[in-house]
Structure 1
Amino acid sequence: MLVGYVRVSKADGSQTTDLQRDALSAAGIDDAQLYEDRASGKKDDRPQLIACLKALRSGDTLVVWKLDRLGRDLRHLVNIVHDLTDRGVGLKVLTGQGAAIDTTTASGKLVFGIFAALAEFERELISERTKAGLESARARGRNGGRPYKMTPAKVRLAMASMGQPGTNVGALCQELDISRQTLYRHVSPTGELRDAGRDVMSAIKR
């Protein structure tokens, strides 16, 4: 069975899916088997894409108008197609970049294999750059990793404020420019240090 997926970036009605729907209909896809999202391709919350991927069964083929209608980026696309392939589901792209991809054919699988190799190459480059950056930072006496959102000063203020019964937690979080989750990860509701808070305070002693 052929299943189609269409997407436009804006949900305000300024963009339509008519062109995509017409192309998919010409490819033999029934309207009942079309899934449509109105959201940016970079967003994770595309409910119709999720529903479409769940509905596909072994022997089905997912058809999209262009490759960029499906994946957020190359790695996301590769992951989707690998998952479909493992489930015995094909992918066919009708036009644009990637129009030669049809994983139900030998030549289409070859084209997608090149995409997959490029994605793997990109991952390796990112990993190498990250390692090189960390080694360079260590050579200069700096430890790698994401900087703390909380600082010792913020932790001390959070401890003092949370120890007061009338503290407005929302206002405190806004003042510290942190989320409630971050606050409670570092300080208890009674103002006592938690493990994350101890890590921040101990960092200044190193």
Structure 2
Amino acid sequence: MLIGYMRVSKADGSQTTDLQRGELLAAGVDPTQLYEDKASGKQEDRPQLANCLKALRSDDTLIVWKLDRLGRDLRHLVNIVHDLTDRGVGLNVLTGQGAAIDTTTASGKLVFGIFAALAEFERELISERTKAGLASARARGRRGGRPYKMTPAKVRLAAASMGQPGTKIGELCKELGVTRQTLYRHVSPTGELRPDGQKVVGIGT
């Protein structure tokens, strides 16, 4: 079975899928097997794409007008096609830069293999840059990871407040902009500093 997917970036009526629909129908897709999203290509939440991918079965072929209608980026595209391939589903791109991709043919599989290699190369480059950045930061005395949500001032305020019988934990967390878990990780219910809290205010370092 042939199943088609269409997408335009705007839902305000300024863009339509008429051209894509016509090309997909001409390629043999039944009108009842067309899925359409009106969302940016960078947007993760594309419900009709999700429905389309779920509807595909072994020996089906997914047909798109252009490659950029399908994936958010190269890695997303590669992941989609790998999943389709594992399920025995083909992909056929009708026009544009990806028109040579038809994973139901040997030459199309070769072209997609090049795409997959480029995506892997991109992942390795990002990994190398991240490692180099962390090494450089450590050399300057900085550590990677997310910064503390608790500042020294917040820890001291929390310690003073937690020691008061009338303190409402929910209101204190809201004022500090932290969760209960974060609060209790730094300060005990009686207002004593825990190891994380001591670290923030510089005690013992």
Normalising by structure 1, report the TM-score. 0.83
| AA partner of residue 164 (structure 1) | T
1:184 aligns with 2:187: no
Structure 2's unaligned 5+ residue stretches are none
Any idea what SS the aligned residue of 1:97 has? helix
1:202 aligns with 2:205: no
In structure 1, the partner of 2:83 is 83
Deviating 4+ runs (over 4 angstroms): 155-159, 166-169
> What is the CA distance between 1:192 and its match in structure 2?
4.9
Match of 1:51 in 2: 51
Aligned positions, number = 194
Deviation at 1:44, TM superposition (A): 1.2
Please report the RMSD computed on the Cα atoms of aligned residues, expressed in angstroms: 2.6
Structure 1's 166 and 91: CA in aligned 2 closer, same or farther, altered over 3 A?
Answer: closer
Distance verdict in 2 for CA 1:198–1:73, change over 3 Å: farther
Indicate if the aligned counterparts of 2:150 and 2:200 stay in contact, CA closer than 8 A.
no
* Cα deviation digits, residues 121-144 of structure 1 (max 9, x gap): 000000001111111111121112
Amino acid at match of 2:112: F
In structure 1, C-alpha distance between the alignment counterparts of 2:15 and 2:53, rounded to whole Å: 24
Please say if residues 100 and 111 of structure 1, whose CA atoms lie closer than 8 Å, have aligned partners that are also in contact: yes
Distance 1:99 1:18 in 2: 19
Residue of structure 2 in register with 1:116 after alignment:
116
Structure 1 match to 2:4:
4
Alpha-carbon distance in 2 for matches of 1:133, 1:145: 12
Q: After superposing the two structures, state which structure 1 stretch, 141-150 or 63-72, moved more.
A: 141-150
Distance in 1, Cα, partners of 2:198 & 2:23: 60
Superposed displacement of residue 14, structure 1? 1.5
- Is the aligned partner of 1:164 residue 2:164? no
Gap change, CA 1:110 and 1:166, over 3 Å in 2:
closer
Paired residues of 2:90 and 2:102 also in contact (CA < 8 A): yes
Structure 2 contact 7–39 (Cα < 8 Å) conserved:
yes
* Counterpart residue number, 1:23: 23
C-alpha distance in 2 between matches for 1:70 and 1:198: 49
1:198 shift after superposition: 5.8
Structure 2 distance, partners of 1:204, 1:121, is 43
Assess if the C-alpha contact under 8 Å between 1:37 and 1:46 holds in 2. yes
CA contact (8 A) 1:62 1:92 kept: yes
Q: CA deviation at 1:36?
A: 0.5
The TM-score with structure 2 as length reference comes to: 0.83
Matches within 5 A, 1:89-128: 89-128=89-128
Q: Which one has a bigger Cα radius of gyration?
A: 2
Is the 2:6–2:34 Cα contact (8 Å) retained in structure 1? Answer: yes
Sequence identity (%)? 75
Match of 1:37 in 2: 37
